[in-house]
Amino acid sequence: MKKLKKIYVEITNVCNLSCSFCTKTNREPEFMTLETFNKILEQIKHHTKFIYFHVKGEPLLHPELDKFLDLCYDKGFKVNITTNGTLINDVKNKLLNKPALRQINFSLHSFQGDETLKEEYVENIISFTKEAIEKTNMLIAFRLWNLHEDNNINLIQKKNQDIIDKLKCAFDIEFGIEERIPQDRGIKLIDRIYLNQGAEFDWPSLDSEEDFSKGFCYALRNQAAILVDGTVIPCCLDGDGIINLGNIHEKPFSDIIEGERARKLFDGFSRREVVEELCRKCGYRKKFS
């Protein structure tokens, strides 16, 4: 039985923002049903205990988010949510009393999708974070994944300085965050609160230039993902389900990740060979080369 560190479950592919750094999916908009979600949990329970609500879409939009978290708790799963955070005030009561919720990752660079959001947006997230830290054991990670390879240190600081200043003030940070946080890594601000700053990356696309060089990825080693319609993919970056390994409505998850296409991808990366076209057009995998 293959064990994975985490499995991404896309509970919706609908988003309330249109950010330049996040490509829109070509799939039909959809919200996962509680029945499908329960089916997924039953099929993956022997493969992992950690679920991430993430691929495409904004998970806080799901009207049954609280029921999904309750089901995860009943079945012994821990959940990480990645969100743009714009809806945090609307759903905080669905989150603060849910013991299955282990961590929330706030993509603070999402304000770039709408600059008018910035002030109130950051303040709402900070307010929620303080309440979560006081009332729960939840972990909070702030993400600023909006840097570019040509950024020098001055440009990096200018891009995110307003938000960093707000975080320093809100959590009484006395040390210089700017001096301690290297690109593509994170730091601990205070207990259970983290800040990660990293480079903006391009989502893999079949329209991108193909790279036939040697490569490696943790797809199907550490992770797999399940899209809102039940399609299993090897990682969270295949937002259109191009590497379709199978569907949980047609075949058990265990059989899907041991299927021929999955084995070829896994064995290929073991030899540092990139067998899937989409993987050869993925810049993110170069981080592991």
pLDDT in tens, 36-55: 999 999 999 999 999 999 99
Does a structural domain hold residue 90? yes
Are 234 and 113 found together in one domain? no
- Predicted local confidence at residue 284, as pLDDT: 85
Question: Is residue 162 assigned to a domain?
Answer: yes
Domain containing residue 238: 223-287
> Do the domain assignments include residue 252?
yes
| Residue 145 counted as domain residue | yes
* The two three-digit tokens of residue 147, written as one number: 């840097």
What percentage of residues in the chain have a pLDDT greater than 90? 73
Distance CA 144, CA 153 (A): 14
How many Å apart are CA 83 and CA 105, to the nearest integer? 6
Continuous segment of H or E residues that includes residue 270: helix 260-270
The Cα 55–Cα 68 span in angstroms is 16
* Structural domain contains residue 53: yes
Q: Report residue 145: phi and psi, to 5°.
A: -100, 65
In-domain check, residue 213: no
Residues 276 and 174 in one domain: no
CA 235 → CA 24, 124, 179, 217, distances in Å? 17, 31, 33, 9
Is the pLDDT at 150 greater than 70? The verdict is no
Per-residue pLDDT averaged across 186-204, rounded?
A: 86
pLDDT score of 21: 78
Which tens digit of pLDDT belongs to each residue from 83-120?
Answer: 999 999 999 999 999 999 999 999 998 866 455 556 78
Report field, pTM of the whole predicted structure over 0.85: yes
Q: Does residue 216 sit within a domain?
A: no
What are the phi and psi torsion angles at 64 (to 5°)?
Answer: -110, 30
CATH number where 101 lies: 3.20.20.70
Domain boundary among 165, 199, 233: 199
CA distance 27 to 14: 10
The mean pLDDT value of the chain amounts to: 90
